[in-house]
Amino acid sequence: MAAALEPGKLFTELRAACADDWRGYVEHDFVRGLGAGTLAENAFRHYLTQDYLFLIHFARAHALAVYKSDTLEDMRDAAAAVSQILNVEMGLHVKYCAGWGLSEADMAAVPEARATLAYTRYVLERGMAGDLLDLSVALAPCVLGYGEIGHRLVGAGTARDGNPYKSWIEAYGGADYQRAVRMAGAQLDRLYARRGGAARLDRLIETFRAATLLETDFWQMGLDAA
């Protein structure tokens, strides 16, 4: 298996502080099922539907990041992320889901699962109550965690012909997403250098752990639907 990426000093420290919870997230049975190609299709379809709803709030979180930014560079980065999600990623997700028999209208009509509500509202709450660093750390298990999962699965050779989840694995383990992971890790380090310090680390670890557990619940939500 390929070694895990190390996208930044702060992320590495946060992950180490939450090692057991992080392992439960990136090695969850849902993830194992993706790699083995044995995940129940109903579980994956339910996940895809909720991920569509999640992306909407993901865009809102980055819009909040524009407001929370105090430099033009950060504002432009956050605004670019909003545009990327709304104008590119949503379309790609809808196209991918169509291959699984899911229409955009169908996904938009599905109620948000409790796991979706819990994580997305937690991220927005941390951003509203805190600053851009708090918001970015709350988002990190999603942004950086998917990169680590994709990297692990590709490195383990799971993106093989015959695996129905091959394209999902390749998307998150591929060069484009891995580049985005490194950029997100570097941004965390920049924010921590400007806004962080030892006095904030315990609270950031608490945020990271909570977000990691909520992401784990998102996987479990998919399994429970099978």
7 or 105: which leads in pLDDT: 105
Global pTM reads 0.94
pLDDT by residue (tens digit) across 161-170? 999 999 999 9
Q: Which residues are catalytic?
A: 142, 215
Domain boundaries, the chain: 9-224
Average pLDDT over residues 122-134: 97
> For residue 215, how many other CB atoms are within 10 A of its CB?
23
Query: How far is residue 167's CA from residue 69's CA, in Å, rounded to a whole number?
Result: 35
Residue 1 has pLDDT above 60, yes or no: no
Q: Which CATH class is domain 9-224?
A: mainly alpha
- pLDDT at position 226 is 74
52, 25 in Cβ contact below 8 A?
Answer: no
pLDDT by residue (tens digit) across 85-103? 999 999 999 999 999 999 9
Evaluate the CA torsion angle 210, 219, 168, 123 in order and state its sign: negative
Query: How far is residue 185's CA from residue 103's CA, in Å, rounded to a whole number?
Result: 34
Evaluate the CA torsion angle 29, 148, 219, 101 in order and state its sign: negative
